[in-house]
Structure 1
Amino acid sequence: MKTQVKALVVGGGAVGTSIAYHLAKAGWDNVMLIERDELTSGSTWHAAGLLPLFNMSYATTHIHKYSVDFYKQLEEETGLNAGFAVVGNLRMAQTQERMDEYMLYASTAETCDVAYEWLTPDQIKERWPLIETSDLKGAIYHTEDGYINPADVTQAMAKGARQRGVDIVRKMQADAFHWNGSHWEVTCTKMVEKGGNLIPSDEQVVITAEHVVTASGNHAQRTAKMLGIKMPAIPVEHTFIVMDKDPELVKWREAGNPEHPVVRDADNESYAREERGGWILGIYEHGAPAQFEHGVPDSFRADLFPLDLDRIADQYMAMAERVPSCAESGLKDDFNGPICYTPDGNPLVGPAPGLRNMWLAEGFSFGITAAGGTGYYLAQMMVDGEAEIDMASLDPKRYSSNWMTTEFAARKNEECYEHVYILHHPDEEREACRPLRTVPAYERQKARGAQFGWVNGWERPNYFGPLDAPENFDHDARSFRRGGWWQYAVEEAKAIREGVGLVDASAFTKHVVKGPGATQFLDWFTCNKLPKVGRINLTYALTSHGTTRTEYTIVRNGENNYYIVSAGAWTEYDADYLRKAAEDKMEEFGYIEIQDVTTQWGVFAIAGPKSRDVLKEVIKDADPETALSNKRFPWLSARQIELGMCPVNAIRVAYTGELGWELHHPIEMQNYLFDLLEKAGEKHGMKLVGARAQNWLRQEKSYRAFGTELGRDATPLEADLPRFVDLSKDFHGKAKLEETGVRVKCCTLLIDGPDDADPWGREALYTPEGERVGRLTSGGYSVAFEKSIGMGYLKPEMAVEGTKLKVKIQDKLWDAVVTCDSPYDPKNETIRKDG
């Protein structure tokens, strides 16, 4: 057995074997995989093996599609049949709203080259007469996927890995991880069977590895404790049952008819597929509990939990109505086992927080579907430095360890499980574990009608509903079209364009970077010129591939003292990258101190033509009339001011593109400042504004957002932001940025869409002749142009003003035109307005 390897993969399920295989395929020739028991002995062995392409996430859809394509070629390479039954996947809808969900997904699927077709109830009945269709609206049908044998596909990947030189060692448990500054030392214990249990022996070995990947499945909490980190990967019980033979199904197949597709009855929270003349019925019910919150007991191996028939009774009865011929089929077998989840249902894939060369692949609720693609894209990240798609949405650091707890993860994972088949509205807000992180002004905003969204644990107003609403008014009316909140967001957006609005932006990530090496470091770390003292600049930290890793607003408070602001959803993601980069450069540049001050500073953004008038009411200055003028407080500058008794670090910038300021204030004084601004704003008609209106307004200004237009799959030049890239200096990622060129280009589109819907930023773009040429990354409504608006990527030659296109919304093509950059106030006259 080797004790020195390039990469050590911990975990021998489908995910772990795929990672080992793809690392070897990518060129690493000294890879080892260890498994504490037998391959597939975790949740892989009791998985139903379905391969659903359906996913609302762009990155996850790519991962699933790769898996489906990859599994089809495994037998040719390895000689082992992976048991892939390409029967297709029929996802049915009982309501128009469910069809709306499928139509939104279908447009996303097109951007990932995932094939589908629409079926009417009559077409379903004609193809598969055993299915009851009288209550259906229709279905989306994928012909390319189906189901697979989890054990077989895992063994096939393991054989493929061995053929490429991977060492696979069974009955070997990782018990400790130690980073010695250049590589990992992993203490492993040989496991032995005794009385049906798996117990540690006295035999230990230390494996040194340059890189370690953990794919420990249900044992993720044990892994996290050994690494000294937190991760919200906790299993939830999942039940599927095997039914006795269905006589009509047997006759159907004996007559030479094809196997049924995987039948997903989403509105009845279940799926079904054929199994030897009968049916397997899988259920995503309410009330399924989380398990192993603090670790898997040593006695639990390839075990299951007792079946709770009462919990799944409704879905069981619904199956008998959906396929009436199975009504008399008895229960043959049941599987109620742990499946790992995360709060948003997406796995944790990428670098571990705070650690070097430690990679996580944990929290897979659809592990068989995701295994192949995860191995492929994670290997790209490890070997090449970045994946070809933006993997940020799966990054483990999206749940910050400074607030995420075991209780939070367990309860949110239970909620996520029961939401598998609940309608996935783009504007949905799930309620478990909320409110958790609140700013001082939370209760004040709530009392004024705030309807909150959730971002990185924070409660942030999405919009402000009516205080005089009738008792039956549904503030949470969600829709795939224009939800119940839409009319209020319109009024809020108009308030900023025509008067003045106040936005709570306290969730922004905020860091202080200072010290003798701070200036040299930030000059190398970001691609734009650094601002002068008292000024600000927008800039980007790049990946090693020259793509966008983080967007920063940099405020220079002193020669070597900087206050940098980034997206609120990505606090630990940004902090980890910033700290690691500074550590790498400290010897070269000098001492660099980095402080995360996110929770120390609240932020109110005040914007609109009357914003200066409101601030004049409360600013304490020798000459209040000129304190906020262009001469004393120019655009893109920062000043320490006093608003009443509150000291404020004011930044003259506005994400809405109107005259405005960000007011960064001590968090403990937030309620005082809120009351002060609210009172001063009364006579100017100031309105409280939420994040949804702000999102629309920034699109009118073509302001790119991190996580949509900006990400690790496009450079700032491809985002069409050359003004923020200083090619005269050296910076991290510059060579790759120049080498990459401009493959695609970001642009803004005005859209003549339907009267009751706007794009969400997931839609495909077409030429008028019907050729797919790009995709939207953001979408919404423009109050300035009174039509839908969106931003997205096209080939450079098409991303020019005047190009006529089509956008697919609700399965129809609508006219769109590429507009100029910043279609609202393209000369920035309003934002620079003097007074």
Structure 2
Amino acid sequence: MKTQVKALVVGGGAIGTSIAYHLARAGWSDVMLIERDELTSGSTWHAAGLLPLFNMSYATTHIHQYSVEFYKTLEEETGLNPGFFIVGNLRMAQTQARMDEYMLYAATAETCGVPYEWMTPDAIKERWPLVRTEDLEGAIYHPTDGYINPADLTMAMAKGARQRGVAIERKWQADGFEWKGDHWDVTLTKMIERGGNLVPGEEQVVVSAEHVVTASGNHAQRTAKMLGIKMPAIPVEHQFIVTEPDPALVAYRKAGGAEHPVLRDADAKWYVREERGGWILGPYERNAPARFEYGVPDSFRADLFPLDLERIEEEYMSMIHRIPSSEEVGLKDDFNGPICYTPDGNPLVGPAPGLRNMWLAEGFSFGITAAGGTGHYLAQLMVGGEAEIDMASLDPKRFSQSWMTTEFAARKNEEAYDHVYILHHPDEERPAARPLRTAPAYDRQKALGAQFGWVNGWERPNYYGPLDAPESFDHDARSFRRGGWWQYAVEEAKAIREGVGLIDASAFTKHVVKGPGATAFLDWFTCNKLPRVGRINLTYALTDHGTTRTEYTIVRIKEHEYYCVSSGGWTEYDGDYLRKAAADKAGEFGYIEIQDVTTQWGVFAIAGPKTRDVLKEVIRDADPDTALSNKRFPWLSARPIELGMCPVNAIRVAYTGELGWELHHPIEMQNYLWDLLLAAGEKHGLKLVGARAQNWLRQEKSYRAFGNELGRDATPLEADLPRFVDLDKEFHGKAAMEATGIRSKCVTLLIDGPEDADPWGREALYLPDAPLRGDGGTRVGRLTSGGYSVAFGKSIGMGYVKPDQAKVGQKLLVRMQDKLWPAEVVEDSPYDPTNANIRVDG
């Protein structure tokens, strides 16, 4: 066994073998993979081998698409057939709402180049007569999809890895990780058979590895404990059953009938595929329990749990309804094994929080589908420093180390399993483990009709519904069109444009950066000029490749003290990057102190033409009439003020594009300040406003949002933000940004869409220049945000197009509900482009 390697991969399932293969293919010749048992002995061996391309995530869709294409190449390279059966994937819909979901997904699929077809119930019946279709609305069909043999796939990737120089060692368990400053020392223990169990033997080896990747599957909790971190990757029971041969199916195939595609009846919560003349049924039932919350017992190897047929009875009966010939068929085999999940159903892929050169690839509920693409894109991250797609949505640090617990992960993972086949509305809010993180004003907001969204564990008002709503009004109703909440968001947006509104933005991430090296560090770390004391600047931290890693609003408190505000959903993600970068530069710039003060400061954003009228009621100043004037408190400045008895660090900035301030206040005084502002605002018509209206308003101002327009697949210049980039100074990522050029460009569009729907920011953009299914043209880009504009009375969106199509006045088409709707590129900040409203004096 090697004792010194470039990269050590821990885990020999489909994920681990793919990562080892792709690291070697990317040029790392000295790679070793270890497996505590046999290859495929974890969840891989009992996986059903399906390859579902359907996914609402842009990054995950790319990962799945890569896998499907990659698996087709393995036999030619390795001589091993991975058992890939390209039979297609048919997702059936019993309701129009489900078809709406498929239409939104289809728009996302087009942006990633995933082919699909629409099928009517009659067309399904004609092609696959064993399927009952009279109660279906239709289906979406992926002809390139199918299923694969997980064990054969893993062995093919393992052989391909060996051919590229990867060493694969079985029956070795990782029992300790120690960072030595420039490499990891990993203690490995030889596993031996004893009484049918696999137990640690006496033999141990220490392997030095520059990089370590953990792909430990069901053993993720054990791995996390050894690393001293938290990972919300916990398995949930998943059952599937195999029937005896179905005579009707056997006869159909004998008569020349084509193999059925993988059938998915999402409304019935199951998948079905053919298996040796019978059927495999895989249900996603309610009440499937989480397992191994604190680690996998040593006695559990390639084992299964007892089958619980009562739990899946409803799904089993619905299979009989959909495929009537299966009613008389007996059960041949059954499986109930652990499948790892995460709270949002997406895997954990990327750098481990707080650790150097430690990479996680854990929590894969669809591991066979994701294995190829995960290996490919993670290898890009490790070898090249960045992937060609933005992987932030899969980053392990999206679940914060500071508040995440085992109980939270277990309950959310059970929910994620149960929600595999629910309608995935873009405005979906899942209820498990909520409320958990609440700002002090939560109860007051709830009493006033707030309907909350979930952001990094925080409860944040999405909108304020009616207190006197009739019983027929469902606050929990979701839609792929304009839901019940839409009209309330419209009124909230109008209130800010015409009067005054109050938004709770306490979830914002907040860091204090100070010390003798703080100024030099932040000047290098971010691309814009640093503000003067008492002023603010919007700026970006870049990746090594010059793309956008983080967006910051920086307030300069003192000469060498800064208050840095970033997105509320990315606290751990931003903080980890900031701390690691500062540590790397401390020797060059001097002492730098970084404090996460997110939970110490609440934030209320007050905005609208009447904002000064409200604040003048409560500000304590020698001259309250001028305290908020342009002279004393100019736009893009910050200073301490007193509102009643509450000390406030006020920042004159508004994400909504109106006159406004962010009121950063001690969190323990939040209820006092809330009551004070509401009382003062009553006579001025103050309205409470949620995040959905705010999202619409920021698009009217073309304000880019991190995770939407801003990310690791585009530079600030491609985001069309040159005013926030100081090319006269040197900063991290500058040379790479300039070398990248402008591959695509961010634009704002006004859209003449359907009367009952707005875009969600996942839709494809086209030129109206050539036939596309009879109604469109050439695809030139995609939306990254979408919504409704109260200023223009129509849909609005932001997105990326090829530079040639980014000019103002360019006519485009947006795919919504499987139709193409006219759109036009408009000037940046179409509402109040001169910022007159923001700068208004008073």
Q: Under a length normalisation based on structure 2, what TM-score does the superposition of the two structures give? A: 0.99
- After superposition, where does 1:121-132 map in structure 2 within 5 Å? 121-132=121-132
Which residue type is aligned with residue 791 of structure 1? M
- After superposition, where does 1:376-525 map in structure 2 within 5 Å? 376-525=376-525
Alpha-carbon shift at residue 500 of structure 1 (Å): 0.1
Q: Which runs of 5+ in 2 are unaligned?
A: 770-776
Q: Report the Cα distance in structure 1 between the residues aligned to 2:307 and 2:455, rounded to whole angstroms.
A: 36
Alpha-carbon shift at residue 472 of structure 1 (Å): 3.3
Partner of 1:357: 357
Q: Report the Cα distance in structure 2 between the residues aligned to 1:619 and 1:226, rounded to whole angstroms.
A: 53
Partner of 1:780: 787
Q: Report the Cα distance in structure 1 between the residues aligned to 2:270 and 2:134, rounded to whole angstroms.
A: 18
Do structure 1's residue 803 and structure 2's residue 810 form an aligned pair? yes
Partner of 1:581: 581
Alpha-carbon shift at residue 471 of structure 1 (Å): 2.8
1:766-797 residue CA offsets vs partner (Å, 9 max, x unmatched) = 11121111000000000000000000000111
Q: Report the Cα distance in structure 2 between the residues aligned to 1:243 and 1:205, rounded to whole angstroms.
A: 46
1:229-248 residue CA offsets vs partner (Å, 9 max, x unmatched) = 00100000001000011001
Partner of 1:829: 836
Q: Report the Cα distance in structure 2 between the residues aligned to 1:231 and 1:494, rounded to whole angstroms.
A: 42
Do structure 1's residue 222 and structure 2's residue 229 form an aligned pair? no
Partner of 1:337: 337
Partner of 1:614: 614
Partner of 1:754: 754
Q: Report the Cα distance in structure 2 between the residues aligned to 1:469 and 1:268, rounded to whole angstroms.
A: 32
How much is the aligned-residue C-alpha RMSD, in angstroms? 0.4
Alpha-carbon shift at residue 678 of structure 1 (Å): 0.3
Partner of 2:655: 655
- After superposition, where does 1:65-104 map in structure 2 within 5 Å? 65-104=65-104
Q: Report the Cα distance in structure 2 between the residues aligned to 1:552 and 1:615, rounded to whole angstroms.
A: 26
Partner of 1:184: 184
Equivalent residues of 2:473, 2:484 under 8 A apart: no
- Residue 386 of structure 1 aligns to a residue whose secondary structure is coil
Partner of 1:251: 251
Q: Report the Cα distance in structure 2 between the residues aligned to 1:310 and 1:120, rounded to whole angstroms.
A: 33
Alpha-carbon shift at residue 195 of structure 1 (Å): 1.1
- Residue 98 of structure 1 aligns to a residue whose secondary structure is helix
- Residue 15 of structure 1 aligns to a residue whose secondary structure is helix
Which residue type is aligned with residue 599 of structure 1? T
- Identity, in percent, stands at 83
Q: Report the Cα distance in structure 2 between the residues aligned to 1:700 and 1:430, rounded to whole angstroms.
A: 29
Runs of 4+ in 1 over 4 A off after TM superposition: none
Q: Report the Cα distance in structure 1 between the residues aligned to 2:524 and 2:572, rounded to whole angstroms.
A: 21
Alpha-carbon shift at residue 492 of structure 1 (Å): 0.1
- Residue 44 of structure 1 aligns to a residue whose secondary structure is helix
- After superposition, where does 1:669-688 map in structure 2 within 5 Å? 669-688=669-688
Alpha-carbon shift at residue 257 of structure 1 (Å): 1.8
Do structure 1's residue 814 and structure 2's residue 818 form an aligned pair? no
- Residue 831 of structure 1 aligns to a residue whose secondary structure is helix
Q: Report the Cα distance in structure 2 between the residues aligned to 1:368 and 1:35, rounded to whole angstroms.
A: 17
- Residue 315 of structure 2 aligns to a residue whose secondary structure is helix
Which residue type is aligned with residue 39 of structure 2? L
Q: Report the Cα distance in structure 1 between the residues aligned to 2:267 and 2:569, rounded to whole angstroms.
A: 31
Q: Report the Cα distance in structure 2 between the residues aligned to 1:444 and 1:457, rounded to whole angstroms.
A: 19
1:231-271 residue CA offsets vs partner (Å, 9 max, x unmatched) = 10000000100001100100111112211100001111000
Alpha-carbon shift at residue 379 of structure 1 (Å): 0.1
Partner of 2:534: 534
Alpha-carbon shift at residue 800 of structure 1 (Å): 1.1
Q: Which runs of 5+ in 1 are unaligned?
A: none
Q: Under a length normalisation based on structure 1, what TM-score does the superposition of the two structures give? A: 1.00
- After superposition, where does 1:160-179 map in structure 2 within 5 Å? 160-179=160-179
Q: Report the Cα distance in structure 2 between the residues aligned to 1:702 and 1:200, rounded to whole angstroms.
A: 59
Alpha-carbon shift at residue 470 of structure 1 (Å): 1.6
Alpha-carbon shift at residue 302 of structure 1 (Å): 0.3
Q: Report the Cα distance in structure 2 between the residues aligned to 1:258 and 1:118, rounded to whole angstroms.
A: 19
- After superposition, where does 1:713-752 map in structure 2 within 5 Å? 713-752=713-752
Q: Report the Cα distance in structure 2 between the residues aligned to 1:354 and 1:9, rounded to whole angstroms.
A: 19
Partner of 2:235: 235
Which residue type is aligned with residue 558 of structure 1? K
Q: Report the Cα distance in structure 1 between the residues aligned to 2:736 and 2:80, rounded to whole angstroms.
A: 40
Which residue type is aligned with residue 794 of structure 1? V
Which residue type is aligned with residue 550 of structure 1? T
- Residue 397 of structure 1 aligns to a residue whose secondary structure is helix
- Residue 557 of structure 1 aligns to a residue whose secondary structure is strand
Which residue type is aligned with residue 827 of structure 2? C
User: Out of 790, 800, 804, which is 1:793 matched to?
Assistant: 800
Q: Report the Cα distance in structure 1 between the residues aligned to 2:283 and 2:212, rounded to whole angstroms.
A: 35
Q: Report the Cα distance in structure 1 between the residues aligned to 2:383 and 2:473, rounded to whole angstroms.
A: 54
1:314-354 residue CA offsets vs partner (Å, 9 max, x unmatched) = 11011111111111001111000000000100000000000
Q: Report the Cα distance in structure 1 between the residues aligned to 2:243 and 2:234, rounded to whole angstroms.
A: 29
1:363-405 residue CA offsets vs partner (Å, 9 max, x unmatched) = 0000000000000000000000000000000000000010000
Q: Report the Cα distance in structure 1 between the residues aligned to 2:590 and 2:252, rounded to whole angstroms.
A: 76
Which residue type is aligned with residue 815 of structure 1? P
How many residues align? The count is: 835
Q: Report the Cα distance in structure 1 between the residues aligned to 2:674 and 2:54, rounded to whole angstroms.
A: 44
Partner of 2:199: 199
Which residue type is aligned with residue 332 of structure 1? K
Q: Report the Cα distance in structure 2 between the residues aligned to 1:648 and 1:682, rounded to whole angstroms.
A: 21
- Residue 459 of structure 1 aligns to a residue whose secondary structure is strand
- Residue 327 of structure 1 aligns to a residue whose secondary structure is helix
Q: Report the Cα distance in structure 2 between the residues aligned to 1:207 and 1:586, rounded to whole angstroms.
A: 30
Q: Report the Cα distance in structure 1 between the residues aligned to 2:134 and 2:315, rounded to whole angstroms.
A: 18
Q: Report the Cα distance in structure 1 between the residues aligned to 2:347 and 2:326, rounded to whole angstroms.
A: 35
- Residue 130 of structure 1 aligns to a residue whose secondary structure is coil
1:443-502 residue CA offsets vs partner (Å, 9 max, x unmatched) = 000000000000000000000000111233201110000011000000000000000000
- Residue 797 of structure 1 aligns to a residue whose secondary structure is helix
Q: Report the Cα distance in structure 1 between the residues aligned to 2:748 and 2:293, rounded to whole angstroms.
A: 46
Q: Report the Cα distance in structure 1 between the residues aligned to 2:177 and 2:643, rounded to whole angstroms.
A: 52
Q: Report the Cα distance in structure 1 between the residues aligned to 2:269 and 2:45, rounded to whole angstroms.
A: 23
Q: Report the Cα distance in structure 2 between the residues aligned to 1:369 and 1:471, rounded to whole angstroms.
A: 43
Which residue type is aligned with residue 391 of structure 1? M
Q: Report the Cα distance in structure 2 between the residues aligned to 1:314 and 1:332, rounded to whole angstroms.
A: 19
Partner of 2:627: 627
Which residue type is aligned with residue 788 of structure 2? Y
Q: Report the Cα distance in structure 2 between the residues aligned to 1:457 and 1:438, rounded to whole angstroms.
A: 8
Partner of 1:61: 61
- Residue 630 of structure 1 aligns to a residue whose secondary structure is coil
Which residue type is aligned with residue 123 of structure 1? A
1:634-654 residue CA offsets vs partner (Å, 9 max, x unmatched) = 000001000000000000000
Q: Report the Cα distance in structure 2 between the residues aligned to 1:709 and 1:800, rounded to whole angstroms.
A: 18
Which residue type is aligned with residue 495 of structure 2? A
Partner of 2:47: 47
Equivalent residues of 2:389, 2:712 under 8 A apart: yes
Which residue type is aligned with residue 150 of structure 1? P
